[in-house]
């Protein structure tokens, strides 16, 4: 199941102060995990490990249960069989589903403010400003989020990931509905997160549009 | 501790801000209450005796139904736009978030009904001397009703059966608040102090205030899928 | 092996299924004679009440049913704790199996109360404390059943019903008290369908025997329904096929 596409240049251990994490720390171990819908298992029991600084890609066709698996790992759903064990605190997880939790009636900035407050993250105006520029969202700050396009809404969610990192990201089809620029942004974000010692689990139903070294976990439909 | 408090205020401010962008929701609750009272007024034929006897009961039942209707939509938007998932996975305590949410909900939907109570009392020809006691009782009772509604909404959030199931679950549990509130008002109208009913309603509401958000958080967690 | 492991093993579905197999049968065997004896005492041996005449005999059915309707709810609440804390499948089955029987006892209480009320008060329904409380309790049972069935994921439904049951059990004393308080407010004194509080010894025996009968009935129906629920939910697993003789 290990199919690295491209080798990224070796990264030195993260220079973050504490806690110092060895690159080989296992963040998540999954043992014979199986999820049910309506009493029937969706896929064959799954086992894998997520190491610090690595990416796991869950690959399957639509309907096999990628999103359910991701939600289960995030703690939003329950598993039928098997078990999984996180070795990081639950507060370090960030989940980005199809719907990012954007309140349409509130402005973009307000949404960010509330997200970061809920993530117990301080508000750094300079970082927010820089992020808005980088994610091409300048000028839209005060608009109600409902007035943004789908791509823009996606980018707001990604901006939130950048501002309030958390150690492990669970991304449901992060490259869907994005243009070239957006895809490059996601790739950069993932690379930065890995370089800082975090990890990413993402789902995809096809090949990733950009080269990233992943541990590919395929769901086999039952 | 201050972290939890900050979570509460964050959630509270978010709900208030959201509601202020869409004030129609609040007006709908109030409008429904006035409408139902109007129907009762018409049905009772406007005779002062019947209204005097049935008035408080009609008032409290209307408040109960109006609260219940508002509560059935409490998590609907959060479910749709993914906020519910984010709340469940957030580093902030879910119970704290729910405290903020229900208190904001009460300020918006409960207190607005309390503010409409003088109009309802007028329509039902209630004794206006009792108005302060009535307002105080309604304030406490609506908070209790919203707390119960929070638990019910949390348990039924992902179900399609929706409002009718919520009614079946939550209305029986609302009986004490209805009875205590009515008892307070009726004792007062008979010349005794309404303090007994008021105290009982306050006790029940305090109990719910302590337990309901935690129960709702548990309900949200175990029914998410 | 440790005590908790042993306890956990005992609580597993196959074990539960095995050691309740005979209980159900014995409960039925004991129930019918007890019921007949109780009815005999109630209908023939105990004297007619001097105030209410023959209709007071219905108290012997009404009171045990009322007691059971409350007992069953508390039993469900205990099971709910097991469902929520330890996620035991057996507790889920026991909790959901008790609900319909509890609702039935509540309905019997209401019906017998109505039948008693007719000759006594001249009307079928009276908003007295007991009948009102039982009516609210009836809806609480219905709510639990409806909530559990509304979920397509059976286990999530059981967990949701467990939370509702625990919320209900906390509210239940408050509800009953509030209804009684409301009654005293209205009528100035508590009206009891039961009439005078002292019960003569000759009336006590039928009551006790019929109470025992209701408990036996409940055990029989509860356990057999719980067994059915477990078998149905585990119908694809090996132990079920083995017990039913469909596989080696």
pLDDT in tens, B164-206: 899 999 999 999 999 999 999 999 888 888 899 999 999 999 9
- The confidence score (pLDDT) of residue C97 equals 96
DSSP H or E segment with residue B2: helix B2-21
Q: In angstroms, rounded to a whole number, what is the distance separating the alpha carbons of residues B133 and B195?
A: 9
Residues 19-58 of A with CB under 8 A from C: 36, 38-39
- Which pTM value belongs to this model? 0.89
The predicted complex's ipTM stands at 0.92
Q: Chain A closest CA to C218's CA: distance in Å?
A: 30
The answer to whether the Cβ–Cβ distance between A39 and C154 falls below 8 Å is yes
Contact criterion met (CB < 8 Å) for A78 and C155: yes
The string of pLDDT tens digits covering residues C68-119 is: 999 999 999 999 999 999 888 999 999 999 999 999 999 999 999 998 888 8
Q: Are A21 and A195 in contact (CB under 8 A)?
A: no
- Check: CB of residue A34 under 8 Å from CB of residue A41: yes
| CA A71/CA C160 separation, integer angstroms | 19
* β-strand partners of A30: A48, A84
| Residue of chain A with shortest Cα separation from B94 | A118
Which residues of chain C lie closer than 8 angstroms to B182, CB-CB?
182
What's the pLDDT at C196? 47
- Alpha-carbon distance of A217 to A117, in angstroms, equals 34
Name residue, tokens 């041996």.
C45
Three-state DSSP state, C151: coil
A109-113, A138-142, A186-190, B153-157: least confident range: A138-142
Q: Which residues of B touch A104 (CB under 8 A)?
A: 81
Residues facing A94 on adjacent strands:
A169
Instruction: Tell me what the mean pLDDT of segment B1-16 comes to.
Output: 91
Closest CA to C192 of C129, C122, C112, C109: C129
* Among candidate residues C164, C228, C158, C221, the one with its CA nearest the CA of residue C13: C228
For C127, which DSSP code?
Answer: -
Per DSSP, the three-state class of C49 is strand
Categorize the per-residue pLDDT at B222 as very low, low, confident or very high, splitting at 50, 70 and 90: confident
Residues of B in Cβ contact (< 8 Å) with A102:
81-82
Window 174-193 of A: residues touching C by CB (8 A cutoff) are: none
* Beta strands A26-34 and A46-51, pairing class: antiparallel
Tokens of A100: 């990012």
Contacts of A38 in chain C (CB under 8 A): 152-153
Does the beta-carbon distance from C152 to A78 stay under 8 Å? no
d(CA A193, CA A161): 10
Q: Strand, helix or coil at C53?
A: strand
Chain centroid to Cα C124, Å, comes to 24
Round the CA-based radius of gyration of chain B to a whole number and report it: 18
Bridge-based pairing of strands A55-59 and A215-218 is parallel
Hey, which bits of chain B come out as E strands?
A: none
Q: Residue C48 carries which DSSP code?
A: P
C: neighbours with 3+ CB pairs under 8 Å? A, B
pLDDT of amino acid C75: 96
CB contact under 8 A, B172 and C179: no
Interface of C with A (CB under 8 A): 152-156, 236
pLDDT at C133: 94
Neighbours of B161 (CB within 10 A): 14
Does the pLDDT at position A13 exceed 50? no
Displacement of CA B21 from its chain's centroid (Å): 21
Assess whether pLDDT exceeds 60 at residue C190.
no
Three-state SS string over chain A comes to CECCCCCCCCCCCCCCCCCCCCCCCEEEEEEEEECEECCEECECCEEEEEECCCEEEEECCCCCCHHHHHHHHHCCCCCCEEEEEECCCHHHEEEECCCCCCCCCCEHHHHHHHHHHHCCCCCCHHHHHHHHHHCCCCCCCCCEHHHCCHHHHHHHHHHHHHHCCCCEEEECCCCCCCCHHHHHHHHHHHHHHHHCCCEEEEEECCCCCCCCCCEEEECCEC
Question: Closest partner residue to C178 among B180, B218, B222, by Cβ?
Answer: B180
Q: Which phi and psi (to 5°) does residue C129 adopt?
A: -60, -45
Cβ contacts from A onto C, under 8 A: 7
User: Are B183 and C179 a contacting pair at CB < 8 A?
Assistant: no
> In sequence order, what are the residues at sequence separation of 6 or more whose Cβ sits closer than 8 angstroms to the Cβ of residue B102?
B146, B147, B150, B212, B213, B216
Burial class (CB in 10 A: 0-12, 13-18, 19+), C51: exposed
Distance CA C167, CA B173 (A): 9
CB A116 within 8 A of CB A82: no
To test the contact with chain B by mutation, choose from A98, A99, A106 the residue with the greatest count of B C-beta atoms within 10 A, namely: A99
Do B92 and A100 lie within an 8 Å CB cutoff? no
Choose the most confident range, by mean pLDDT, from B68-72, C114-118, C241-245: B68-72
d(CA C159, CA B172): 20
Q: In angstroms, what separates the C-alpha of B75 from chain C's closest C-alpha?
A: 16
Nearest one of A99, C201, A117 to B9, comparing CA atoms: A117
Query: How far C212 CA lies from chain B's nearest CA (Å)?
Result: 30
The angle, 0 to 180 degrees and rounded to 10, between the axes of the packed helices A150-163 and A125-134 is: 140
Split at pLDDT 50, 70, 90, the class of A16 is very low
């Amino acid at each position: 199941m290990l199919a690295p596409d491209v080798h990224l240049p070796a990264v030195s251990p993260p220079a973050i102060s504490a806690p110092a994490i060895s690159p080989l720390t296992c963040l998540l171990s999954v043992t014979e995990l199986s999820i049910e819908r309506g009493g029937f298992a969706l896929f064959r029991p799954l086992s894998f490990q997520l190491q610090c600084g690595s990416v796991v890609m869950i690959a399957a066709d639509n309907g096999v249960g990628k999103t359910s698996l991701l939600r289960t790992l995030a703690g939003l759903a329950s598993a039928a069989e098997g078990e999984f064990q996180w070795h990081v605190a639950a507060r370090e997880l960030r989940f980005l589903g199809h719907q990012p939790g954007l309140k349409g009636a509130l402005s973009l900035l307000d949404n960010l403010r509330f997200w970061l407050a809920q993530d117990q993250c301080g508000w750094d105006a300079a970082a927010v400003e820089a992020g808005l520029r980088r994610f091409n969202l300048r000028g839209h700050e005060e608009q109600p989020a409902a007035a943004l396009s789908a791509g823009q809404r996606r980018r707001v969610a990604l901006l939130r990931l950048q501002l309030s990192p958390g150690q492990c990201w669970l991304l449901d089809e992060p490259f869907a509905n994005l243009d070239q620029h957006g895809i490059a942004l996601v790739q950069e974000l993932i690379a930065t997160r890995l370089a800082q010692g975090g990890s990413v689990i993402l789902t995809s139903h096809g090949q990733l549009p950009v080269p990233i070294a992943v541990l590919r976990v395929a769901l086999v439909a039952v | 501790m201050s972290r939890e408090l900050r979570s509460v205020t964050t959630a509270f401010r978010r709900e208030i801000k959201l509601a202020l962008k869409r004030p129609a929701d609040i007006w709908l609750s109030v409008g429904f209450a006035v409408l139902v009272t109007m129907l009762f007024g018409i049905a009772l034929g406007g005779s002062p005796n019947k209204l005097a006897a049935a008035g408080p009961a009609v008032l409290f039942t209307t408040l109960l139904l109006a609260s219940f209707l508002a509560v059935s939509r409490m998590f609907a938007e959060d479910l749709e736009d993914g906020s519910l998932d984010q709340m469940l996975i957030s580093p902030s305590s879910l119970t704290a978030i729910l405290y903020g949410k229900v208190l904001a909900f009460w300020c918006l939907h409960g207190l607005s009904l309390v503010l409409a109570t003088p109009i309802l009392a007028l329509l039902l020809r209630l004794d206006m001397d009792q108005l302060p006691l009535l307002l105080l009782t309604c304030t406490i009772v609506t908070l209790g009703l919203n707390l119960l509604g929070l638990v019910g909404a949390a348990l039924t959030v992902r179900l399609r059966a929706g409002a009718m199931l919520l009614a079946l679950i939550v209305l029986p549990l609302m009986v004490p608040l209805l009875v205590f509130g009515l008892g307070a008002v009726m004792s007062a109208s008979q010349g005794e102090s309404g303090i007994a009913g008021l105290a009982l309603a306050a006790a029940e509401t305090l109990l719910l205030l302590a337990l309901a958000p935690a129960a709702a958080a548990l309900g949200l967690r175990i029914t998410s899928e | 092996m440790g005590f908790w492991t042993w306890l956990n093993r005992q609580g597993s579905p196959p074990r539960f299924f095995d050691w309740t197999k005979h209980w159900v049968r014995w409960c039925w065997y004991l129930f019918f004679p007890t019921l007949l004896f109780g009815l005999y005492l109630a209908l023939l041996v105990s004297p007619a009440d001097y105030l209410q005449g023959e209709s007071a005999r219905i108290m012997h059915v009404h009171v045990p049913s009322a007691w059971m309707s409350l007992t069953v709810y508390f039993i469900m609440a205990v099971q709910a704790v097991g469902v929520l804390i330890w996620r035991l499948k057996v507790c889920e089955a026991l909790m959901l199996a008790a609900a319909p029987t509890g609702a039935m006892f509540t309905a019997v209480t209401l019906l017998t109360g109505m039948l008693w009320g007719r000759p006594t008060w001249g009307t079928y329904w009276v908003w007295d404390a007991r009948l009102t409380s039982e009516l609210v309790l009836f809806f609480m049972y219905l709510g639990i059943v409806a909530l559990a069935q509304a979920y397509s994921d059976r286990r999530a439904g059981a967990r949701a019903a467990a939370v509702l049951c625990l919320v209900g059990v906390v509210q239940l004393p408050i509800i009953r008290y509030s209804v009684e308080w409301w009654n005293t407010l209205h009528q100035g004194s508590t009206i009891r369908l039961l009439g005078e509080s002292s019960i003569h010894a000759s009336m006590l025996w039928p009551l006790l025997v019929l109470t025992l009968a209701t408990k036996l009935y409940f055990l029989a129906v509860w356990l057999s329904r719980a067994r059915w629920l477990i078998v149905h939910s585990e119908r694809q697993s090996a132990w079920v096929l083995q017990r039913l003789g469909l596989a080696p």
